[in-house]
Amino acid sequence: MPDVSWALGRAAELAERGPQHGGNPRVGCVLLATDGAVVSEGWHRGAGTAHAEAAALAGADPGRLRGATAVVTLEPCHHSGRTPPCTRALHAAGVARVVYAVGDPDPVAAGGARWLATRGVEVLTAEDAGVPADVSGRAADLTAAWASAVRRRRPWVVGKTALSLDGRVAAADGTSRWITGAAARNHAHTVRADVDAVVVGTGTVLADDPALTARRPDGTLAEHQPLRVVVGRRAVPPQAALRQAPGDWLHLPTRDLRTALDRLWDAGARRVLVEGGPSLLSGALREHLVDELHAYLAPVLLGAGLPAVADLGVPTLADAPRWRPVTTRTLGEDLLVVAHRPQGDL
Ligand SMILES: NC(=O)c1ccc[n+]([C@@H]2O[C@H](COP(=O)([O-])OP(=O)(O)OC[C@H]3O[C@@H](n4cnc5c(N)ncnc54)[C@H](OP(=O)(O)O)[C@@H]3O)[C@@H](O)[C@H]2O)c1
């Protein structure tokens, strides 16, 4: 068989170029000819654009597709949404074999592997095709957050905090701008630009009056703007900056975060960034609603002021939830720690 392990690694690399906002998973595809040569490759560039398989097929010489192997990070979809089913396109092109890393968790789009197999296409999971676990694991990781959201029918929640070395997000007088440096703040803007919604509590709106837009380092607006969401019963002032910025914003006058997330799911949000402040983030943590934590740690000591997180009801150290570190990264003088929650459905 052509080198599907290499091809799956490459497909994962391609998939990473796609956006995480917009409701669709990041998917990559490599088409291999019968002799193992790469015929074409593609990735999904976001909702409404061609799926990875269709993008790869579009760039291929049709004469080299007969008997080809399609290596995909996600099971080919089998439904007509904004684009036609990839299964039919692969079959019609003469693809003889499909290798995929993970099954489609979306009941609407699933069933592609079975449909192809009944048409005589050899369909293998990466594991069955002998792909090493680290390669297939990387491909699976790309869709893990999206797949979890789809299975739970609740957005994947990224919690963000920018804190001092002693765990505070504002000084004794309430000042919090800026705890972290420019590199960390620029990074946080790239995260905003890759989610469907950014959520803050009314406390942050009243204290900081943030615009909540995703901006480039030069201050211009990023191409994708998330929905700006304020949660809490107090009113959003008429002159609030987030009202003036371009794009949509929403006030959810509630403290019930599950209901708030349901509303965002219904609005199409699959990936949501909860930027704080500490009361909202603590509420979300207490209810186990945060899936991924981004902690920007700055080398500054405050000694007093607002703690990043309030009481979580942890009685003793042995009972403290230990998060699973995913990455650590230096950003200027600051450190970004990304961790996933320890329990539950990831
Ligand atoms: N460094 C950072 O990363 C960072 C980020 C954001 C903010 N901050 C700082 O944090 C301070 C504001 O703190 P904060 O805690 O008041 O802000 P917050 O968490 O943004 O707002 C708190 C408000 O959120 C609403 N809320 C909705 N659902 C909630 C829930 N389940 N649990 C708790 N509250 C809920 C409540 O509003 P209602 O009373 O209206 O119902 C509550 O009073 C400011 O000084 C700001 O600069 C720092």
334 lines ligand 1 (CB under 6 A): no
Ligand 1 centroid, distance to 269 Cα (angstroms): 21
CA distances from 111 to 79, 85, 107, 203 (A): 9, 11, 8, 46
Q: Whose CA is nearest to atom 47 of ligand 1?
A: 176
In the CATH scheme, what is the code of domain 4-150? 3.40.140.10
Atom of ligand 1 nearest to the CA of 257: 31
C-alpha span between 87 and 79 (Å, rounded):
9
Q: 185 and 178 in contact (C-beta within 8 Å)?
A: yes
Q: Whose CA is nearest to atom 38 of ligand 1?
A: 232
Residue from 165, 204, 242, 302 to probe ligand 1 pocket by mutation (most atoms less than 8 Å from CB): 204
User: Is residue 41 flagged as an active site residue?
Assistant: no
230 lines ligand 1 (CB under 6 A): no
Ligand 1 centroid, distance to 222 Cα (angstroms): 25
Q: What's the pLDDT tens digit per position in 57-104?
A: 999 999 999 999 999 999 999 887 777 889 999 999 999 999 999 998
280 lines ligand 1 (CB under 6 A): yes
- Segment 302-325 mean pLDDT: 95
pLDDT surpassing 70 at residue 218? yes
Q: What's the pLDDT tens digit per position in 19-28?
A: 999 999 999 9
Which of 6, 9, 49 lies closest to 25 in space, CA to CA? 49
- 4-150 and 155-340: identical CATH topology: no
Residue with the two structure tokens 């002159």: 239
As a residue count, the chain comes to 346
Tell me the percentage of the chain whose pLDDT exceeds 90: 92
Ligand 1 centroid, distance to 206 Cα (angstroms): 9
Q: What's the pLDDT tens digit per position in 268-303?
A: 999 999 998 999 999 999 999 999 999 999 999 999
In the CATH scheme, what is the code of domain 155-340? 3.40.430.10
208 lines ligand 1 (CB under 6 A): yes
SS3 of 187-251: HHHHHHCCCCEEEEEHHHHHHHCCCCCCECCCCCECCCCCEEEEECCCCCCCCCHHHHCCCCEEE
Helices (H) and strands (E) in the chain, counts: 10, 15
Q: 146 and 25 in contact (C-beta within 8 Å)?
A: yes
161 lines ligand 1 (CB under 6 A): yes
186 lines ligand 1 (CB under 6 A): no
Atom of ligand 1 nearest to the CA of 207: 44
Q: Whose CA is nearest to atom 9 of ligand 1?
A: 277
Domain ranges, ordered by start, for the chain: 4-150, 155-340
Q: Is residue 308 helix, strand or coil?
A: coil
What average pLDDT does the chain have? 95
Which of 130, 127, 93, 100 lies closest to 114 in space, CA to CA? 100
Name the active-site residue from 53, 75, 275, 292.
53
